[in-house]
Chains A and B, each alone.
Chain A
Amino acid sequence: MMTELGSCVLRARGLCMDYGRGEARVRAVDEVTLEVACGESVAIVGPSGCGKSSLLYLLGGLERPTAGTLWLAGEQLDHMPEARLARVRRHATGFVFQAFHLVDELTALENIELPVLLAGGSPSAASRRAHELLEQVGLSDRARHLPSELSGGQRQRVAIARALANKPAVVLADEPTGNLDSAAAADVMRLFDQLHVDGQTLVIVTHDRQIAATADRLASMRDGAFVEETRPAEGAARTLSAMTGLRR
């Protein structure tokens, strides 16, 4: 699968991922090749257990491929030492998880500050950036709230803000609306749509056809491999609001 867009942020070739050993070995990702250009939005869809999440974790450097090569933001990840891989994760990727994975005892603001602090940023810089992002996701008034005091949709918006904290080259989202009701899911979809419009590179694993339809490209997976790619006709890239009539 090759992109026709400009400079490439993410490039995977022949990526494989096996779990288990011997007869129990299962191939979760099978010879996946993918290029994602800067500012592009790619949705990966497929049935449960087809290897979507495994691929996403591989692309973000959270798992190591069994075979294949992977380039992210100009660096080859597949054989990179763990400490350097951590640095790449710190600066080049932002993760959004289905289960949000906010730190329970930290407020919304502190959760967003966390990646900046882990990257060595000063407390004041982290706070400044977190306030900007809270405003961007529409939760300025929830800065001092703990995750337990936020709704599911609000938690996921905080998680998205956290993913953006270090201005990553690519945001990787794993079923970002999977744990949300339809209203909250719509909020989150709007946010991703806005990020896309703003030029943020996105790779989203989703079951949600509506989210998938907003992407520049849609890759379908089955049994660990890409089986189909669909792309909206040139000039017809649809924003979520255009598709669904939802108001921003």
Chain B
Amino acid sequence: MLSPRLFVAQRLTAALMAPLVAGHLSGIIYAIQGGLDAAEILSRTQGSVAFALFYQAFVVAVSLHAAIGIRVICFEWGKLSGRLLDLATWATGLTLFATGSFAVATLALG
């Protein structure tokens, strides 16, 4: 159900998300200090490669981490197994990746 590689992948993505969350929160606090509105924020994020890379890394980490976590919950609580369990894992991961990437692209590319 949870292979050693999936276990390590979840731990590594957790380690990656720790500084990303800190950066995200710092960015929010910094952005609202001067009273920025949505248009001003968008003007800063659009075309920013650093912003796109930062949040796309976040999206990849969240997609992997959450998909593995949901896999465990589906197995232990939902009693899913076999292909159904794999399907739930992939569906969670791909949905998060697609919606997250779409949001990052929208903010970074306009």
Q: Please determine whether chains A and B interact with each other in the same assembly.
A: no
